[in-house]
Amino acid sequence: MPARSIVLAGADERDLTKFDEYRAAGGFSALAKARAMEPQAVIDEVLASSLRGRGGAFFATGRKASFIPKPDQTPKPIYLVINADESEPGTFKDREIMLRVPHRFLEGALITAHAIQSKNVFIYIRGEYLAEFEVLRAALDEIRAADLLAGVTVVLHRGAGAYICGEETALLESLEGKRGQPRSKPPFPAISGVYASPTLVNNVETIATVTPIIEMGGAEYAKIGPQDSTGSRVFSLSGNVANGGNYELENGTTLRELIYDFGGGIPNGRELKAVIPGGSSVPVLTPDQIDTPLSYDALAEAGTMFGSGAIIVIDDRACMVQLGLRVAQFYMHESCGKCTPCREGTRWMVQILHKIEDGDASQADLDLLLDVCDRILGKCLCPLGDAAAMPVASYIDRFRDEFQAHLDGGCPMDGASSLDNLFAPVDQHHHDPVPDGAPA
- Report 170-189 residues binding another protein (CB under 8 A): 174-180
Please select the residue that binds another protein; options are 64, 104, 326, 406, rule is CB under 8 A. 326
CB–CB of 353/321 below 8 Å? Answer: yes
Q: Which of 327, 373, 389, 390 binds another protein (CB under 8 A)?
A: 327
What is the closest distance, in whole angstroms, from the C-beta atom of residue 378 to another protein in the complex? 24
Give the interface size with another protein as a residue count (CB under 8 A).
71
Nearer Cβ to another protein (174/209):
174
**Which 237-266 residues touch another protein, going by CB under 8 A?**
237-240, 244-246
Pick the closer one to another protein by CB: 58 or 330: 330
Give the x/- contact pattern for another protein in 285-324, rule: CB under 8 A: -------------------------x-x-xx--x----x-
Interaction of residue 376 with another protein, rule CB under 8 A: no
Residues 6+ apart with CB under 8 A from 171: 81, 83, 85, 124, 165, 180, 201
**Edge-to-edge strand ranges of the sheet holding 153-158:** 153-158, 120-125, 79-84, 199-203
Least distance between another protein and beta carbon 49 (Å): 27
How near is the Cβ of 182 to another protein at its closest, in Å? 13
Asked if 269 touches another protein (CB under 8 A), the answer is no
Given the complex with another protein, which of 154 and 207 has the nearer CB atom? 154
Query: Does 419 engage in binding with another protein (CB under 8 A)?
Result: yes
User: Which residues pair with residue 158 across a beta bridge?
Assistant: 125
162 binding another protein? (CB under 8 A): yes
Task: Report how far residue 341's alpha carbon sits from residue 329's, in angstroms, rounded to the nearest whole number.
Answer: 15
Report how far residue 113's alpha carbon sits from residue 31's, in angstroms, rounded to the nearest whole number. Answer: 11
Q: Please, what is the minimum distance in Å from the beta carbon of residue 409 to another protein?
A: 24
Q: How far is the CB of 197 from another protein (least distance, A)?
A: 9
> Is 130 or 219 the residue whose CB approaches another protein more closely?
130
Report the residue from 92, 306, 399, 403 that binds another protein according to the rule CB under 8 A.
92
Tell me the chain's radius of gyration from C-alpha atoms: 22
Q: Binding to another protein by residue 126, rule CB under 8 A?
A: yes
Contact region with another protein (CB under 8 A), list: 8-16, 161-169, 281-289, 397-405: 161-169
Taking CA atoms, 23 is separated from 31, 35, 36, 210, 302, in Å, by 11, 17, 18, 17, 43
Q: Does residue number 435 form part of the binding site for another protein (CB under 8 A)? A: yes
Nearest distance, CB of residue 433 and another protein, angstroms: 5
Q: Residue 122 contacts by C-beta under 8 Å, 6 or more apart in sequence?
A: 79, 80, 81, 82, 154, 155, 157, 175, 194
Which is nearer to another protein, 58 or 122 (by Cβ)? 122
Q: Output the smallest distance, CB 194 to another protein, in A.
A: 8
User: Helices H, strands E: what count in the chain?
Assistant: 17, 8
Cα–Cα distances in Å, from 257 out to 224, 231, 247, 260, 264? 17, 17, 11, 5, 9
Tell whether residue 236 is a contact of another protein (CB under 8 A): yes
Taken as a whole, the chain contains a residue count of 440
Distance CA 129, CA 204 (A): 13
Interface with another protein includes 71 (CB under 8 A)?
no
Task: Please report how close the Cβ of residue 25 comes to another protein at its closest, in angstroms.
Answer: 26
Q: 312 near 275, Cβ under 8 Å?
A: yes
Report DSSP letters for 371-394, one per residue.
HHHHHHTT-SSSTHHHHHHHHHHH
CB of 29 to another protein, least distance (A): 30
